[in-house]
Structure 1
Amino acid sequence: MYRRNFYQSIIGVFLFCSLFSSQAQAQANIYKLHSLFLYNFTKHIQWQEVGNEFTIGVFGNDIALKEVKSNFDGKKFSGKDIKVINIAGVGDANSSQLVYFPKSNKGKILDLFESADKSNTLFVSEDDFIVNGMPIIFTVKADKLGFRVSKSNLDASGLKISSSLLSLAEVVD
């Protein structure tokens, strides 16, 4: 009896771990795709001014941070090094040219976004914050990843988007 319970417990732990592992891997794959989109955004959006390096901030998600760092490792933006940082607060967001908000606590995202200086910074989110001023959000329709652009929110930040990137987006205004 003891042995049977022991084996059932081991099997239960194994199933739990494999379920958690597959969910974590699926989430990592989504963040990998998002990071590829982010890279293309850097190639098709014009910033007014960039310092010595181009900084990308990722808010509140270690898995997303790891995937974005991995994708941007060794890449350049207009000949400048790209640095990927974890965003802990408004100061980090204000020193970034691109800020990515993976799915997490909506309240914290809105607080940080509303407090941040939006000029010359591209904000991208998984959550639908277009009405709150977010320039770009990721969308999933019929199992296809896409993105929605608010042209007015993008213009308000002083950024210019290429017509080729805009043609791939769902434009909301």
Structure 2
Amino acid sequence: MFLKFLIALLLWSTLGTAYGSVRSEYEVKAAFLYNFTRLITWSEPSEEGARLTICVFGRNPFGDVLQQLNGRVSQGRALELDYPASLQQIDRCQVLFVGAGKARNLAEITDYAHARQILTISEIPDFVDNGGIIGYVKEGNVIRFEINLLSAQQAGLQINSRLLELALRVIR
């Protein structure tokens, strides 16, 4: 239990330096998203100087909050934001936030993304039960997340054990 507390403190301390004080639900979700990029390893090595592209597919619930991530560095790679308009345009993404409006095409999106080693994240209910890798879950006023480890492994992604310990639920 103490170890979980220390890990949570570490993650939250990163949030503080990234955002000063975390106020809104989407500031918390953006901070988690940033930390996910730090604790997940892609099996395909990145080229030197390559960027790590975070995409929002569908309606952007973050507003301007994600702009604070643009240019930050994660695992030696500068983060950049992109907003693809079609499924074929997500090929340039390493991280894909799937907007709630894309729920009816979820199977097609996650299959396409995972075949291209793209980390999928969403707040769509039951996202991880339907093939997504990380799903945000709201418990009262607290934002948590669930992880589908099987989907991550199928996509060729390795999730740090510290992140797995913090997840509300892990599907193995």
With normalisation by structure 1, the TM-score equals 0.74
- The reply on whether 1:43 has 2:38 as its aligned counterpart is yes
Q: Give the structure 2 partner of residue 113 of structure 1.
A: 110
8 Å CA contact 1:60–1:101 kept in 2: the answer is yes
C-alpha distance in 2 between matches for 1:151 and 1:117:
12
Given the superposition, is the C-alpha separation of residues 157 and 111 from structure 1 closer, same or farther in structure 2, using an over 3 Å criterion?
Answer: closer
- Equivalent of residue 85 in structure 1, options 52, 76, 82: 82
The letter for the 2-side match of 1:158 is: G
8 Å CA contact 2:114–2:154 kept in 1: the answer is no
Percentage of pairs with the same residue: 26
8 Å CA contact 1:103–1:126 kept in 2: the answer is yes
Uncovered stretches (5+) of structure 1, i.e. residues with no partner: 1-27
SS of equivalent to 2:97: strand
- The reply on whether 1:143 has 2:141 as its aligned counterpart is yes
Flag the structure with higher helix content.
1
8 Å CA contact 1:65–1:86 kept in 2: the answer is no
Q: Give the structure 1 partner of residue 24 of structure 2.
A: 29
What do the CA deviations read for 1:70-116 (whole angstroms, capped 9, x no partner)? 23133012322211000211222221110012332412444433444
What do you get for the CA RMSD once the two structures are aligned? 2.1
- The reply on whether 1:75 has 2:76 as its aligned counterpart is no
- Equivalent of residue 153 in structure 2, options 129, 152, 155: 155
SS of equivalent to 1:74: coil
- 1:63 deviation in Å? 4.3
SS of equivalent to 2:24: helix
Q: Which structure has the bigger radius of gyration?
A: 1
